[in-house]
Amino acid sequence: MTWIEAIILGIVEGLTEFLPVSSTGHMIITSSLMGIQSNDFVKLFTVAIQFGTILSVVVLYFKRFFKSIQFYLRLVVAFIPAAIFGLLFSDAIDSMLENPQVVAISLVVGGILLLFIDKIFKKNENDDADNIKYPSAFVIGLFQCLAMIPGVSRSAATIIGGMQQKLTRKAAAEFSFFLAVPTMFAATAKKMLDFYQDGHTITSHEIGLLTVGNLVGFVVAIIAIKSFISFVTKRGFFVFGIYRIIVGGIILALLWSGHSLEVI
């Protein structure tokens, strides 16, 4: 992996991680266009650069992360389902991750749902993402488990889960951001632990690539989160539904035309 490729992947991660568009789908297209060959470090890189995007949430919502212990308890409750499902079905998840067609279909199906999500939950009035009830937090956590299917999008699944629990678009998106912190931190830590347990080491060049990727992802994610909250509050999710369908269609077209795509 080159420095330019690390920067571009950092930009893609920062732009797509918190939007309901599937960062996995975008990584497939981006890596394919750049001709990046999947290997153990590349797979580690695409997960580890999530650390930068995690920090962007903590920085943007700093005061709310230190508001009360109940805030963290709600996140723990919401995180539990994904932790359990991830441990129980890790092999099946890894198998699906190797199938870009699953990603493409998930993008299209999720996109169709987003076309109608604003109308389905137009009467939601709960605008307080910090103080949702524990059962609601758990239900949102169950929705997050759907994101273990590549292409579903963790952000899309948890936002839809939040709206199903009567949160407004803004509140659902914010709780999705908060829940990303423990979820993505756990995924990053597990990936790095597995990397070292498999006997791999990281060179100074690779450390530099990870540093650059995280820094770029951090800056871009801050911009993306601010823009997303403003946009979705005013306009909703319809545009993201159209966009997902287009991206999924592009991946399917590439596959059907004989291109070999890898989920890195």
pLDDT tens track for 91-145: 777 666 667 888 889 999 999 999 999 999 988 888 888 889 999 999 999 999 9
Residues 6+ apart with CB under 8 A from 185: 51, 54
Q: What is the pLDDT of residue 111?
A: 94
Tell me the pLDDT tens digit for each residue of 11-70: 999 999 899 988 877 887 788 778 887 788 888 898 889 889 999 999 999 888 887 888
Is residue 262 a part of any domain in this protein? Answer: no
* Dist CA 14 CA 52 (whole Å): 8
Helix (H, G, I), strand (E, B) or coil at 126: strand
Does some domain include residue 263? Answer: no
Q: How high is the pLDDT of residue 96?
A: 67
Q: Is the pLDDT of residue 3 over 90?
A: yes
264 is a domain residue:
no
Q: Please say whether the beta carbons of 130 and 167 come within 8 A.
A: no
Beta bridge partners of 126: 167
* Assigned domain for 236 exists: yes
67 secondary structure, DSSP code: S
- The pLDDT of 164-173, averaged and rounded, is 93
**Residue 6 has what pLDDT?**
93
Indicate the number of domains in the chain: 1
Query: What range does the domain containing 251 cover?
Result: 3-256
Q: Report the predicted TM-score, pTM, of the whole model to 2 decimal places.
A: 0.89
Least confident of 84-93, 193-202, 219-228, 246-255: 84-93
Residue 88 located in a structural domain: yes
Average pLDDT of the residues in 198-206: 88
Residue 123 lies in a domain: yes
In a domain, 10, yes or no: yes
Asked if residue 126 lies in contact with residue 168, where contact means CB atoms within 8 angstroms, the answer is yes
Would you give the distance in Å from CA 178 to the centre of its chain?
12
Q: What is the mean pLDDT of the chain?
A: 88
Candidate from 76-80, 111-115, 141-145, 200-204 with smallest mean pLDDT: 200-204
> Which residue has 């070999």 as its token pair?
260
Rounded distance, CA 251 to CA 46, Å? 19
Say what the pLDDT of residue 11 is. 95
Asked if residue 261 is part of any domain, the answer here is no
